[in-house]
């Protein structure tokens, strides 16, 4: 709770440090501020949180577009997520649909398909299946769980299975 300028300055200092460590969205900063200093039930505290948020935006510590762009790129590149999963998590963080769409459009489409193929090829080596249908279903579910679009997953699964010699795989029931 802000009782003086010193607590406001402390909140501002902690918030700027928090935002300096990595890209943050407004929701994350609000949650941190609420946890650190404020009860959001008090109208005065809500106003103080808003003041800190506005300062962070003005000084470019917070930028939802920049956050969404980096989040989408990082989750695709390092966590190997598809667009659907990225969109879902950005929506949960309170990012607007326009910003989400812009961030997801920046994902390289050629790299996107290649990454899915690499994931499915790797997964194919580790799965146990009874027949071609079972292998296809397991790969499809895996691709979907990573957040890739169903049509693309199906196309890439077909390609991965046609590239592999199914008869060489040990079949386990």
Q: Can you read off the two tokens belonging to residue 60?
A: 């470019």
- Angle of CA points 68, 106, 122, to nearest 5°: 95
Rounded Cα distance between 81 and 84, Å, is 8
Q: Is residue 35 in a domain?
A: yes
Evaluate if residue 144 carries a pLDDT over 90.
yes
Assess whether 97 and 129 both reside in one domain: no
Assess whether 96 and 140 both reside in one domain: no
Assess whether 90 and 127 both reside in one domain: no
Q: Can you read off the two tokens belonging to residue 109?
A: 């489409």
| Stated pTM of the model | 0.84
Q: Is residue 25 in a domain?
A: yes
Residue 42 to residues 38, 53, 54, 169, Cα–Cα distance (Å): 8, 17, 19, 64
Q: Is residue 26 in a domain?
A: yes
Supply the range of the domain harboring residue 82.
64-105
Neighbours of 78 (CB within 10 A): 8
Mean pLDDT of 21-28: 94
Mean pLDDT of 39-53: 74
Assess whether 49 and 70 both reside in one domain: no
Q: Give Cα 67 distance to the centre of its chain.
A: 10
Q: Is residue 80 in a domain?
A: yes
Q: Can you read off the two tokens belonging to residue 7?
A: 């607590």
Q: Is residue 173 in a domain?
A: no
Q: Is residue 150 in a domain?
A: yes
Which of 19-28, 42-51, 147-156 comes out lowest in average pLDDT? 42-51
What is the tally of structural domains in the chain? 3
Confidence of residue 65 (pLDDT cuts 50, 70, 90): very high
Assess whether 44 and 84 both reside in one domain: no
Assess whether 117 and 158 both reside in one domain: yes
Mean pLDDT of 150-173: 75
């Amino acid at each position: 709770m802000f009782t003086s300028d010193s607590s406001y300055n402390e909140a501002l200092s902690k918030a700027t440090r928090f935002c300096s460590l990595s890209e943050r969205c407004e929701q994350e900063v609000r949650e941190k501020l609420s946890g650190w200093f404020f009860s959001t039930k008090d109208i005065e505290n809500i106003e103080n949180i808003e003041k800190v948020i506005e300062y962070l935006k003005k000084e470019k510590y917070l930028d939802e577009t920049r956050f969404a762009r980096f989040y989408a790129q990082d989750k695709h590149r390092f966590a190997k997520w598809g667009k659907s999963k990225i969109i879902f998590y950005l929506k949960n963080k309170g990012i607007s649909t326009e910003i989400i769409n812009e961030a997801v459009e920046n994902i390289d489409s050629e790299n996107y398909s290649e990454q899915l193929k690499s994931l499915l090829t790797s997964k194919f080596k580790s799965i146990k299946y009874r027949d071609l249908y079972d292998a296809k279903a397991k790969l499809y579910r895996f691709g979907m769980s990573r957040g890739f679009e169903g049509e693309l997953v199906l196309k890439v699964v077909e390609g991965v299975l046609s590239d592999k010699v199914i008869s060489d795989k040990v079949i386990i029931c």
